[in-house]
Amino acid sequence: MTIGLTAWQLILGFTLLRIALAAVLPLTPQEAYYWLWSRNLALSYFDHPPLASYSIALTTALFGSTSFGVKMAAVAWSFGLNVVWGRMILDLGSNRRQLWWSLLALNLVGIMQVYGVAIAPDSPLLFAWGATLWATWRAVATAKGRWWFVAGIFLGLGMLAKYSAVLLVPAVVLFLLASPRQRHWFVRPEPYLGLLLAAAVFAPVIVWNAQHDWASFAFQTTQRASGMGSWRPRFLLQLIGTQLVVVTPYLLVIALLAWIAGLRDWRELLRDDRRLFLMAAATVPLVLFTMASLRSLVKPNWLAPAYAPLIVLAIQARLSGGAAPRSLKIGLASSAVLLLGAVVAMAWPGARIAEANTWTGWPEAAQRIDQIQRELATRGEASFVFSTNYKNSALLAFHQAGQPRTYAQDIYGERALQFDFWRPEPLAGATGILVMDDRRDQATVPEQIKPYFSSITKLESVEVKHAGRTTRRIDIYLGRGYRGHPHESGTPR
């Protein structure tokens, strides 16, 4: 059975909506950071593998180094995600009516909508996660071993996006163990050859880590594990609260109810490979990160791959009686309203949203910094731009004329993630233009900056107003006589 016209109309409709949003929504700090990676292409990077930056490099080559060009990478991955899940929903035995409602629900999951417009490693991860599941299901449903090779390629692609794609391996193993009909794959060579293909696709990240003392692997494993302390249930409550926001309350509730129903009816579940497969795909990330939240902060996006399988199960359950129930229509409408409100809040120039608004004001600040650098240049004074936050530094680089290089905390010896791996230019003696915004954690000049300059004085503030109200203040300081980058010998540390 093909996806069908109505499902294609839904997919293309949401894709066109995302393209429109990409044209009007501002660039987020995290997107600017990944855009910087795309300007410095490498086998991998400190924070994450390289696939997001590769896709940004492609779309900015097509659409220009603009906010639209950057965001089109997310739009492209989201389109692929919809197609893959559309195909898999049908392969799992759903009819076209169930397919349409399932795709509608998936497109109203807040976190999936976010990564369909704002590019991050999660954007290609969600696509590759779904594609790996689809190819795996094709392998077990058709008994054709070659589909394991396709699954291996998609798994490797997922790990090129984000390390958490490795959780697909225990998820698939859980399914094969739980299903008596599928255990024969453990003695077949195809799944293992698929894993070798995944490793081959992932090889560039291994090479980069080998060349950089395994820095990224350590950052994402042992360093994160060392941050897990004693039992702190408040993190679990925080996780629940963030999931209500990023999934929307209705969709979170029906997803969790579908998971609980699967656990409750475990005997029936073990007899139904379709339900069992979706349950296994969701259970590994759901349980792992929920348990982690008892000891450490779990970021809202980490659970995102768990929701698509559960929502497909939930929609199937609600449509088992025929027509879509009124409660489903009302629930999805509530999710749509919440998403619309979030889009308006982000696009509205007067939005403050406490300290959550991190994107406004930077184009105006970058324009003023361009003027300051031209004035310094006319006096024969070399200058460079830096910030106390690597994301702000990326935004400044993006919005400045010519998109020049900027610096972050690396300038004064603090860790600055990927900035630490880019060789600094000779800057000793130059004037540093320090840029800071008015959020609480960035409102005062850190003491550790001062030894690196002969003097630091505040030059001015750039205030961004809307309807007579200040929505962002960005402070600009001049640091005269920079004494040299910490990577250079004889400089402060």
Write the CA distances from 437 to 149, 362, 463, integer angstroms.
Answer: 49, 9, 10
pLDDT at residue 489 in the model: 45
- Convert the pLDDT of each residue in 223-269 to its tens digit: 666 666 667 788 889 999 999 999 999 999 999 999 999 999 988 99
433 contacts 370 by C-beta, under 8 angstroms? no
pLDDT at residue 488 in the model: 58
Query: Which residue's structure tokens are 């739980």?
Result: 178
pLDDT at residue 485 in the model: 78
Q: What is the DSSP string of 367-390?
A: HHHHHHHHHHHHTT--EEEEESSH
0.85 exceeded by pTM: yes
The distance from CA 246 to its chain's CA centroid, rounded to whole angstroms, is 13
Give residue 308's region: left, alpha or beta (phi > 0; psi -120 to 50): alpha
Q: How far apart are CA 35 and CA 257, in angstroms?
A: 39
Q: Can you give the residue ranges of every domain in the chain? A: 5-347, 362-480
pLDDT tens per residue across all 493 residues of the chain: 678 889 999 999 999 999 999 999 999 999 999 999 999 999 999 999 999 999 999 999 999 999 999 999 999 999 999 999 999 999 998 888 999 999 999 999 999 999 999 999 999 999 999 999 999 999 999 999 999 999 999 999 999 999 999 999 999 999 999 999 999 999 999 999 999 999 999 999 999 999 999 999 988 876 666 666 667 788 889 999 999 999 999 999 999 999 999 999 988 999 999 999 999 999 999 999 999 888 888 899 999 999 999 999 999 999 976 667 889 999 999 999 999 988 887 777 655 554 567 788 899 999 999 999 999 999 999 999 999 999 999 999 999 999 999 999 999 989 999 999 998 888 999 999 999 987 755 667 888 899 999 999 999 998 887 777 777 889 999 999 998 877 654 443 3
pLDDT at residue 129 in the model: 97
Residue 409, CA atoms < 13 Å, CB-side half-sphere: 14
Residue 278's H or E segment, with its range, is helix 273-292
Contacts of 332 (CB under 8 A, 6+ apart): 104, 105, 108, 250, 251
DSSP state letter for 50: S
Query: Which residue's structure tokens are 């497109």?
Result: 107
Structure token pair of residue 86:
């559309």
